[in-house]
Structure 1
Amino acid sequence: MTESPRAARPGVRAVNAAAVLAVIRREGPLSRAAIGEHTGLSLPTVSRQVGALMELGLLREDPDLAPAGAIGRPRVPIALDGTVFAACGVHIGVSTTTYGLADLRGTLLDSDEIPTPGGSAEDALAHIAGKVRAFLRRWPRRTVLGIGLASGGLVDPVRGLLDHDRLGWHRVPAADLLHRATGLPVRLDGHVAAMANAELLFGWGPRASSLLYFYAREVVGIALAVDGAPHRGPGGGGSIAHLPIGGDTRCPCGATGCLEATVADRTVAEAAVRAGAVAEPDIRLVRSAARAGEPTAARLLADRATALGRAVGLLRDALNPDRVVLGGQAITDPAERLPDLLRSYADTTNLPGADIVSVTRLGPALQATAACTGLLNRLFDHPLDLLDDARKAPVR
């Protein structure tokens, strides 16, 4: 069972509650009067909504932020209450599964990771669910809204189905399996779409009318958001795995020079082993060797950064967004290769204003944070519905 979308059109109360939450999330703590100015709601309506959301534990007054000399309650700033509710997130990667817990501000409270279990999808998800249940028991005073499940492959968010060729999973009812094992509402999404959504909520999103999110680690992917909403075409997100960027790396598709096959962690690590730079095909060993001055390891990482920069430049020119945000450990770790990526990007793009590229500010636990925000986004859009679902679903 996935978290259940309401079929009926939300009522005025629900729409107003979402509007109040959205403006406080976007603008920070605001007085009741300022909330009214931003939303167009009357002061009595704002006061009713603020009171109801405070009673639910979503908002709180913050007198410490009141302007000096302010008189009267309407001027006391209202902020998100980060002490009651939290969202769990599970990111299933090819080699590593990460899970975490975030508060309403998107701040990661805790996270952990395990090797992605082998075997059948059912057994793997049962193992992951057991780890998540034990993890959530560390936070007995938090009301967990549900689980945001993010993964590569092809996802069907409506039906909660996951196809992941690299894991051998086909039409797996991943959301329902995780729901049955934890008792919590589950929202499934593609991992790159989830990361883009995290940027929209807590990163660069509010500052750009169109945003291109570019991700690279073991897989590569992009998500495009326009006016604060991710674009979703037929069958989910698009793919850049086979974007031709040149080179002689052979892809499983039979071609050479495909982006994912060229820049994936495994490709770089295996090339380092063949060259004698490291003993085992582990990207962490390649990074350590490069930092220790091993020239072949450093060259391989620089070549990968150059290829990534070329891809970013090509996609930027094709889509022409206001902002490009880069994420994923192939980009952020090692950070010393970022100048190579940016030089390659600048050499590739032909559009003016090349300084629109930024690295995500969500930190090294990006995958867990992004997975959590699937539930937070649902909360901000439909706060009353999701709270009802969460209260009916205690963690087992």
Structure 2
Amino acid sequence: MVDSSAGAILRTVLESGPVPRSVIATRAGLSPATVTWQTRALVEAGLLTELPETTRSRGIGRPYSPLALDERNVVLAVHIAATRTTVAVVDITGELRSTVKVPHRTNAPYDILDDAAAEIARVRAETTGRVLGLGVAIGGRVDRDSGTVLDHSYLRWHDVPVRRYLAARTGLATELDSHTRALMHAEQLYGRLRGTKSSVVLFVGNVVDTAFAVQGQVHYGPNSAAGSITRMLGIGVARAREDGESATVERYSDHGLLRRASECLPASEIHAAETVPDLIESARRPGPARDLFLERAAAMGRVAATLIDLLDPESVVIVDRGYGRVDGVEAAYLRTVGEFCVLCPDPAGVVGCSSFTGRVLEMAGAAVALHGVFRTPLSVLERKAV
């Protein structure tokens, strides 16, 4: 209870700061006495800083000292994707300080983790401020409690103890989570899901999955599998394929789109569509590349409609690299949700894109560590702060 009230104070300062103690007490629903001694503890711990004394507007009222987050606190953020690892520095306010991409030399788990550890060490040595911990996000089925990647179909990882391995090699307090659940936490802290009680994040990348929150709590499930929709059927695929891919959402993953682009693009364009950014560039003009993104938006829009009818969320975040970058993709999502969803007469009022365009991967990794900081800050500091 003590640390939960400290977390409530820290989140209130994040959302409203710089702010006086009296406002914190009102907005966090805590007694003035609790706010007084908990803010003292948070200032002494270096998470909050007291700004110079000021007065209210027009000089009326007693002077007060506003409290703000101490921006010298940072976390190291790691996102392990299909072909590369991102290592970033994000401060406690959600500001991205730096980021670097490390290509995978193989898909072997310990090759990737060793390369990540080496880059973490380099970035850490160049980082000013206090490192509160290391957050690692990855696709697939992740057991957050044990810090293990149970299954990653694209990388073919099974039962890889990522948290233990990286903690031993970096010396940092390390946390691991699914990238989509991590993005849910990021949106709750810094993005469009702040203050919402029920929400869905639909991630459409090399891994296609979802996360959902009820009463503000992200659901994990007893098998750490909540949100796994890879085998979802019935999304209007026109023809079957021998490998069964067309009957699943895998057809609409990033690597699925690239594979299909190699089959349908003119020979003159295939060499210029070897990556998703290349394909997005080709989709800036009408043609087969744009059609692939529009087809994906229509299919994933039906998935979103199903999730909305099933969970009845206040808000849905779509993470799709074509959303907002390829003409017609946003409209295709909204149109499809409106057509197939019973509970969503105004799709534009419920469905939107990520708050972190251009830094989705960095914020996913950061939120794995920062979620704990804002939930139980004093306990996190007891574990490790350097």
**Structures share fold, TM-score greater than 0.5:** yes
Alignment of 1:260-339 (within 5 A): 260-261=250-251, 263-277=252-266, 278-280=269-271, 281-291=274-284, 293=285, 295-334=287-326, 337-339=329-331
SS in 2 for 1:118: coil
* Contact 2:78 2:87 (C-alpha < 8 Å) held by counterparts: yes
For residue 177 of structure 2, the aligned residue among 189, 200, 216 is 189
Q: Are 1:166 and 2:166 matched, yes or no?
A: no
Per the alignment, residue 342 of structure 1 pairs with: 334
Instruction: State the shift of 1:88 in Å.
Output: 1.2
Per-residue deviation, 1:72: 3.4
Letter in 2 for 1:286: L
Aligned residue in 1 for 2:131: 144
Return the alpha-carbon distance in structure 1 between the equivalents of residues 318 and 289 of structure 2: 23
Contact 2:140 2:207 (C-alpha < 8 Å) held by counterparts? no
Partner of 1:229: 217
Q: 1:251 to 1:106 in 2, by over 3 A?
A: farther
Q: Give deviations 1:43-87, integer Å, cap 9, x for gaps.
A: 3432222222122221123448853214434x33212121x2111
- Which of 183, 186, 192 aligns to 1:204? It is 192
Separation (CA, whole Å) in 2 of partners of 1:59 and 1:207: 22
- List aligned pairs for 1:352-371, cutoff 5 A: 352-354=345-347, 355-371=349-365
Task: Describe how 1:75-224 pairs up with structure 2 within 5 A.
Answer: 75-82=64-71, 84-139=72-127, 141-162=128-149, 163-224=151-212
Q: TM-score, normalised by structure 2?
A: 0.90
Contact 1:160 1:175 in 2 (8 A): yes
Q: Classify 1:323/1:94 alpha carbon distance in 2 versus 1 (closer, same or farther; 3 Å).
A: same
Gaps of 5+ in 1: 1-9
> In percent, how many aligned pairs have the same letter?
30
Query: How many pairs does the alignment contain?
Result: 376
Aligned mates of 1:250, 1:89 — CA distance in 2: 40
Residue 204 of structure 1: how far off its partner (Å): 2.4
Question: Could you tell me which residue of structure 1 aligns to residue 13 of structure 2?
Answer: 24
- Alignment partner of 1:378 out of 367, 372, 375: 372
CA drift of 1:330 comes to 4.3
Aligned ranges 1:30-109 → 2 under 5 Å: 30-63=19-52, 67-68=56-57, 69-73=59-63, 75-82=64-71, 84-109=72-97
Q: 1:259 aligned to 2:246?
A: no
Q: Deviations over 1:223-278 (max 9, x none)?
A: 111121101212112311122212147679736331222x1122222222222333
Letter of the structure 2 residue corresponding to residue 128 of structure 1:
A
- CA gap of 1:220–1:66, structure 2 versus 1, over 3 A, is farther
Q: What's the CA shift for 1:390?
A: 2.1
Change (3 A) 1:332 1:218: farther
The residue type paired with residue 250 of structure 2 is: E
Q: Give the counterpart letter for 1:72 in structure 2.
A: R
SS state of the match for residue 166, structure 1? Answer: coil
Structure 2: gaps (5+ residues): none
Alignment TM-score, normalising by the size of structure 1: 0.88
Which range is displaced more, 55-64 or 222-231?
Answer: 55-64
Tell me by how many angstroms 1:97 deviates: 1.6
1:129-170, Cα deviation, whole Å (9 max, x unpaired): 10121122221x211111111111111111111122321221
Specify the alignment match of 2:381 in structure 1: 387
What is the distance in 1 between the residues matched to 2:242 and 2:99?
34
- Per-residue CA deviations over 1:266-317 (Å, capped at 9, x if unaligned) read 22222222223332443232222222x3512222222122222222122212
CA contact under 8 A between 2:109 and 2:157: conserved in structure 1?
yes
